[in-house]
Amino acid sequence: MNKQIFAMALLLPAVASAQLVDDFNPPKSACCVGGMAQTLAATVQDWNQMGRYHADNEKLKGQAAEPGRVVFMGDSITDGWKLSQYFPGKPYVNRGIGGQTTPQMLARFFEDVINLKPAAVAIFAGTNDIARNTGPETHEMVQENFQAMAELARAHGIKVILCALTPISDYGPRPMTPGRPPADILKLNAWLKSYAAKTGAVYADYYSATVDDKGMLREGISRDGLHPNDKGYELMVPVINAAIQQVMK
């Protein structure tokens, strides 16, 4: 109950500043306010979702690190990638969490990457930063988060793969370009490619593998203009395979 009271208290300033009205015509309220408040309180306590993979991490840390282990660090596109299906028999570990941005990934980088002692990490992020999922950021702030993750990995003997953001499209049920401007995607990809070249990381160019002649995510390889479907992941597999092979040399 205390968590619910705390969460509801966050709404009080908005209520207190409202004016009296002549006609009572409130907007339709959402269902299950108590449950929403509880969810909000839980989110505040684990804003970077460190608990998502904690139990699995503890199991892996209790085992010897497999040779060739690669951690896939990312957001929903990584989260939805069935690694055992596309890379059968490979010691690849999925640490994607839907909706996450680079500051959240940086906060869980030790727990979800370094402590698992992988040979390499593939960092695939940025689209949700552009979409402001955790608030507005400058390009420099996003770049610094990538840089921090890469430097942490190198300091612990982990090879780094920086993955290009995939394009988006408006071919799906709702347009994606307003929230994720293609120009921002291109700008961040250009920086990732340049930074990889300067630091000895490998650049996995998912963008070129999935873009069409209009600069959009190819039609038919996504369910919504952002997230790949099976055909989309099939296009990405050879890109990351080549990057892993290169970084392991």
| Domains of the chain, start order | 2-17+24-45 (no CATH), 56-247 (3.40.50.1110)
Residues of the chain with pLDDT below 70 are 1-46
Residue 8: the pLDDT is: 43
Residue 27: the pLDDT is: 63
Residue 87: the pLDDT is: 98
How many residues make up the chain in this entry?
Answer: 249
Single-letter amino acid, residue 159:
K
Tokens of 44: 């505040």
How far apart CA 165 and CA 227 sit, in angstroms, is: 11
Q: Is the dihedral of CA 131, 136, 137, 139 positive or negative?
A: positive
Residue 47: the pLDDT is: 74
Helix (H) or strand (E) holding 148: helix 139-155
How far apart CA 56 and CA 108 sit, in angstroms, is: 14
Residue 39: the pLDDT is: 55
Residue 21: the pLDDT is: 45
- The pTM is what? 0.83
Name the H helices within 2-137: 2-9, 12-16, 33-45, 54-61, 76-79, 83-86, 102-107, 109-112, 127-130
